[in-house]
């Protein structure tokens, strides 16, 4: 894109050309109480989650500014993560002190709008560039010299405002889509409680039994490290089990021979319920498609006795505080959290009549069809947003 002819009135500028000062940061020692007893907002890259920063993560004192590497970035400038979470950026709406993870850009506001720069830094091309600049093994970071030489297409301020207004609307559409997805999930949880009652109080007086007593099989994945392949049959681990979704964008593979070996223990099938049982414990998804895969031990498999327990009812019961509390109490905390087979078998679950379980399953199935359409629309919205970001900085969005 650099070198591409820009519209009349636009120029290419290095970030250095529109930045009056670079501000570095630091983290005051937590052993010195007076450093953390003041009223100056302080933040680090982990707290950069939106395009505007309105609050600090913690508060430090003026002594911390005087004695340590922490520095204050005046409001209405830009913070960029140059170490840990490289590439995140935000406009700080408050005077804020920053950690060493961040660099503050004091901008020439006569030439560039802070939010225009943030949108530009978030564009796919610049994100890729920043990723390429990242260096390091344990903690990746970018050098200030790399950041300062990034080329920025610079239109007049009025044009920058028009571009920002268009991108704001596009981003608002994305937020509405995300809100709709969240509301759909909340709706199903409300339906669950209206049909069955809260399992904690169990107002209907349903029988409560050990999970093992209403299942045909409870096991986990392969304990012997499988031999991976570059392609072939899916090998799932805990990272692939999301809430009510099996995520296959980042997945390992095994060949047919390894699949046959592992399959002597268990062959997952449609209707089984999978649960992440190592690291991020308790995410659950039902197998709803005829998908061929095997799994490692960080995934557990629950096969309900469908005469007693509906798979969909079981899947969504894991969303209740009743099951989440039991799981939290059952997790073995070593170097990382683990939920073992014997603890899964001992989980207690209410058993409503099957016809009510089926009623709920039908509602959940309709919800999943709507959610799938929403997912497709979300992907289209993201593609549109990325397209707008690309066009915004070539002059294609505004005349």
Question: What distance in Å separates the CA atoms of residue 369 and residue 367, rounded to the nearest whole number?
Answer: 5
Domain count along the chain? 2
pLDDT band at 373 (very low <50, low <70, confident <90, very high): confident
Answer yes or no: do 149 and 217 share one domain.
no
Which pLDDT score is estimated for 385? Answer: 77
Question: What distance in Å separates the CA atoms of residue 96 and residue 74, rounded to the nearest whole number?
Answer: 7
**Residue-range definition of the domain harbouring residue 39:** 11-154
Which pLDDT score is estimated for 78? Answer: 97
Q: What is the pLDDT of residues 252-291, one digit of tens each?
A: 999 999 999 999 999 999 999 999 999 889 999 999 988 9
Answer yes or no: do 106 and 17 share one domain.
yes
Answer yes or no: do 215 and 145 share one domain.
no
Question: What distance in Å separates the CA atoms of residue 129 and residue 101, rounded to the nearest whole number?
Answer: 18
Q: How much is the average pLDDT of 213-225?
A: 94
Whether 52 is covered by a domain: the verdict is: yes
Which pLDDT score is estimated for 3? Answer: 53
Answer yes or no: do 224 and 309 share one domain.
yes
Asked which of 154, 186, 218 is the last residue of a domain, the reply is 154
Tokens describing residue 35: 């450093």
- The secondary structure of 57-98, three-state, reads CEEECHHHHHHCCCEEECCCEEEEECECCCCCEEEECCCEEE
Whether 334 is covered by a domain: the verdict is: yes
Question: What distance in Å separates the CA atoms of residue 365 and residue 67, rounded to the nearest whole number?
Answer: 60
Q: How much is the average pLDDT of 121-139?
A: 86
Whether the Cβ atoms of residue 385 and residue 341 lie closer than 8 Å to each other: no
Whether 190 is covered by a domain: the verdict is: no
Which pLDDT score is estimated for 334? Answer: 64
Q: Is the pLDDT of residue 2 over 80?
A: no
Whether 159 is covered by a domain: the verdict is: no
Indicate the range of 24-28, 232-236, 390-394 predicted with least confidence.
390-394
């Amino acid at each position: 894109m650099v070198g591409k002819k820009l519209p009349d009135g636009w120029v290419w500028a290095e970030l250095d050309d529109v930045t009056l000062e670079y501000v570095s940061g630091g983290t005051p020692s937590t052993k010195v109480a007076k450093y953390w007893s003041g009223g100056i907002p302080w933040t680090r890259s982990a707290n950069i989650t939106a395009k505007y920063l309105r609050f600090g993560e913690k508060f430090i004192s003026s002594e911390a500014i005087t004695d340590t590497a922490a520095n204050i970035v005046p409001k209405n400038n830009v913070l960029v993560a140059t170490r840990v979470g490289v590439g995140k950026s935000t406009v700080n709406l408050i005077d804020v002190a920053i950690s060493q993870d961040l660099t503050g850009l004091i901008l020439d506001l006569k030439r560039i709008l802070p939010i225009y720069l943030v949108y530009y830094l978030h564009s796919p091309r610049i994100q890729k560039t920043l990723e390429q600049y990242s260096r390091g093994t344990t903690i990746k970071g970018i050098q200030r010299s790399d950041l300062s030489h990034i080329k920025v297409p610079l239109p007049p301020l009025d044009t920058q405002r028009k571009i920002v207004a268009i991108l704001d609307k596009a981003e608002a559409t994305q937020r509405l889509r995300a809100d709709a997805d969240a509301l759909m999930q909340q709706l199903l949880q409300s339906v669950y409680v209206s049909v069955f009652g809260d399992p904690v109080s169990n107002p209907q007086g349903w029988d409560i039994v050990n999970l093992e007593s209403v299942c045909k099989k409870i096991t986990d994945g392969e304990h012997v490290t499988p031999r991976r392949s570059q392609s072939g049959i899916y090998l799932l681990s805990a990272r692939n089990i999301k809430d009510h979704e099996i995520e296959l964008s980042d997945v390992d593979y095994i060949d047919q021979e390894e699949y046959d070996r592992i399959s002597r223990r268990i062959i997952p099938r449609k209707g089984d319920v999978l649960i992440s049982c190592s690291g991020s414990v308790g995410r659950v998804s039902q197998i709803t498609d005829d998908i061929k895969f095997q799994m490692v031990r960080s995934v557990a498999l629950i096969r309900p006795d469908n005469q007693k327990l509906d798979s969909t009812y079981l899947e969504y019961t894991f969303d209740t505080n009743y099951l989440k509390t039991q799981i939290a109490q059952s997790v073995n905390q070593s170097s990382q959290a683990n939920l073992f087979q014997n603890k899964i078998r001992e989980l207690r679950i209410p058993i409503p009549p099957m016809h009510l379980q089926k009623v709920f399953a039908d509602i959940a199935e309709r919800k999943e069809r709507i959610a799938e359409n929403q997912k497709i629309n979300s992907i289209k919205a993201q593609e549109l947003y990325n397209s707008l970001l690309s066009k915004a900085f070539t002059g294609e969005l505004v005349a």
